[in-house]
Amino acid sequence: MGVPFLDLRAQYQSIKPEIDQVIQDVISDCAFALGKYVLEFEKNFAAFCETKHCVATNTGTAALHLVMRALGIGPGDEVITAANTFIATCEPISYQGATPVLVDIDEETYTLDPAKLKAAITDRTKLIVPVHLYGRPAEMDPIKKIADDAGIPVLEDTCQAHGATYRGQKTGSLGVAGCFSFYPAKNLGAYGEGGAAVTDSDDLAVRMRRLRDHGSDRKYYHTEIGYNYRLEGIQGAVLNVKLRHLEKWNAARQAHAERYRALLGDPPGRVKLPPADDDCRSVYHLFVIGVERRDELQKLLADRGIGCLIHYPVPVHRQEAYAHLGYKKGDFPVTEKLANRILSLPMFPELKEEQLQEVGNAIREFFGS
């Protein structure tokens, strides 16, 4: 039968009339850069995240960069983040001339290990960036306690956790700001690139809005050097439509995750499953398992037409781009161990029962059960 890793066409077909109409509306109004459709999305997404402000940007990377620039991160500063993340978490740190300082992850949650955080803090640490990875929030209470004790702000990288909650609070509302990516594959994805920063800080929101639009508060008057980080009108309109469906889609992902648990949890131990929700409500941007002989399993699944990916095969500290940080193999043993074991299974709201069974049966057959 075959199972795609992701099926964006199926999602589009489910909302086609709404999407086609708003795209035509944007074209008719010629509201192509920022404009009323982006403003409407900012208002709605801020409410969704339970924050006062949303500043929409052209990528999630840009959103992270805006926050760091607005907070005054600069040369000589250190910014702590998780060793297991996409490189886009670290790039804005480098854009500001600061140094990424990596901390290993917890083997169960795959997010920054609070027990290892305090030792990474120095007198140059100016920001801590936990990553809500694969749709699961990081352990924010102990992270924030350590950060607060040291007087260091916390910026959430929630690019993979749209709508996730930690102890009843939405991701993005737990730190000084939270940054989202709307890359098409995300739980809330644009039809192109997109991102946003949310915050309760009036001052931070004002500065970020200025910086994203060439340092300008009004057209052709520039108070500082900024960037062209504006979100397009079409993307704002598309995101507004899709935001109305996000909770339903997240619920479908959670149901698929439970079905995977039922299919793969017996016999126990063969497949390491994501931790069940406790204080956290994951939205399963990815359903990531851990297995021995990962590459063999991925090949078997590929031979059967089942799409799987590895997030991420090469940790940041082993990337050539960050060789100058001086980290070496073995510095982050949990991250390195998982990089050789993890595999992301098909996960999207429109998955069908027979597709889930196809994936589960193939994996069980691989292990001889």
Residue 25 structure tokens: 């509306």
Instruction: Grade residue 9 by pLDDT with cuts at 50, 70 and 90.
Output: very high
Per-residue model confidence as pLDDT tens digits over 159-215: 999 999 999 999 999 999 999 999 999 999 999 999 999 999 999 999 999 999 999
| pLDDT tops 70 at residue 59 | yes
Strands 155-157 and 165-166: unpaired
Mean pLDDT of 279-293: 95
Looking at residue 350, the DSSP 8-state letter turns out to be T
Q: Nearest CA to 204 among 192, 195, 212?
A: 212
* All domains of the chain in start order, with CATH: 8-105+112-243 (3.40.640.10), 246-366 (3.90.1150.10)
Neighbours of 241 (CB within 10 A): 17
- Residue 369 is predicted with a pLDDT of 61
Mean pLDDT of 82-90: 98
Residues in CB range of 82: below 8 A, 6 or more apart: 89, 102, 103, 105, 111, 112, 129, 130, 131, 133, 138
DSSP character string of 154-180: BEEE-TT-TT-EETTEETTSSSSEEEE
DSSP character string of 22-87: HHHHHHHHT--BSSHHHHHHHHHHHHHHT-SEEEEES-HHHHHHHHHHHTT--TT-EEEEESSS-G
pTM of the predicted model as reported, rounded to 2 decimal places: 0.96
| pLDDT tops 90 at residue 279 | no
Mean pLDDT of 224-240: 98
Contact (CB, 8 A) for 316 and 322 = yes
Residue 312 structure tokens: 């991420």
Name residue 123's beta-bridge partners.
none
Contact (CB, 8 A) for 64 and 46 = no
Neighbours of 267 (CB within 10 A): 11
Contact (CB, 8 A) for 35 and 234 = no
User: What does pLDDT average to over the chain?
Assistant: 97
Per-residue model confidence as pLDDT tens digits over 14-35: 999 999 999 999 999 999 999 9
Neighbours of 180 (CB within 10 A): 31
* SS3 assignment, position 218: strand
CA torsion, ordered 107, 112, 115, 120, to nearest 10 deg: 130
Phi, psi of 306 (to 5 degrees): -100, 120
Cα–Cα dist 45/42, whole Å: 5
Name residue 280's beta-bridge partners.
166
